[in-house]
Every structure is written in C-alpha cells, then in structure tokens.
Amino acid sequence: MLKSSIKADYKQHSDYTPLIVDPSFTLENIYVYRIVFKYYSEEEVAFFLSTSEELSQLNFYTLNSFASLNSLSETISRFFADCWTTYVKKYIVTT
C-alpha cells in the first residue's frame, strides 16, 4: 500500500512542493521466483539433446489433415513441457 503526503513546508523559491511517497514493501510483495536453466549447465545440454532426439524421431510425413497436424502439435507441446519440468531449476528471488 502506498502512503503519500505533500510537504508544503519544504517548498522553496518555486511554486512546486515535494510529494513524499512511502511504498511500504512487505515480504509477500517481493517473493518472486524464476524457472530457468543455468547457462551452459548439464541440464541445459540434456534438455537440448533430449528435445532434438525426440523431434528427429517424429514422423512429419503423415500430415494429411488438420487432425493429424493437431495431434502432432500436441505431442510436441507435451514433450517440450515434460522436458522443461524435468531439467529446469526454480530460483527464488527475495530481499
């Protein structure tokens, strides 16, 4: 919650007066996490190897309808999501 007040007694030679704002941060406001790979980590390499191997095994020649395209895109999406949750790490950013 922001608290603000106008300090008219701080006014100097101009007709401007300072506005003082107190943001009042709490721990709940600052608790943030990121889900990432470490750069050049073993997990990043494993993720890319695993996904490229799986993509190379897919059969793209059977795409003859919208249903087969949907099925293929769902398979790719599910595979990337599974690999992502397997290899990434959760980092918590706090005060």
Task: Render 35-90 in DSSP notation, one character per residue.
Answer: EEPPTT-HHHHHHHHHHHHHHHHS-GGG--SHHHHHHHHHHHHHHHHHHHHHH-EE
In terms of pLDDT, which residue wins out, 41 or 18? Answer: 41
pTM over 0.75: no
Percent above pLDDT 70 for the chain:
73
CA distance 48 to 84: 10
Domain ranges of the chain: 28-93
Per-residue pLDDT reduced to its tens digit, 43-79: 899 999 999 999 999 888 878 888 888 989 999 999 9
* pLDDT score for 35: 85
- What confidence category does residue 28 fall into, taking pLDDT thresholds of 50, 70 and 90? low
In terms of pLDDT, which residue wins out, 51 or 7? Answer: 51
* pLDDT score for 9: 66
* pLDDT score for 90: 85
- What confidence category does residue 91 fall into, taking pLDDT thresholds of 50, 70 and 90? confident
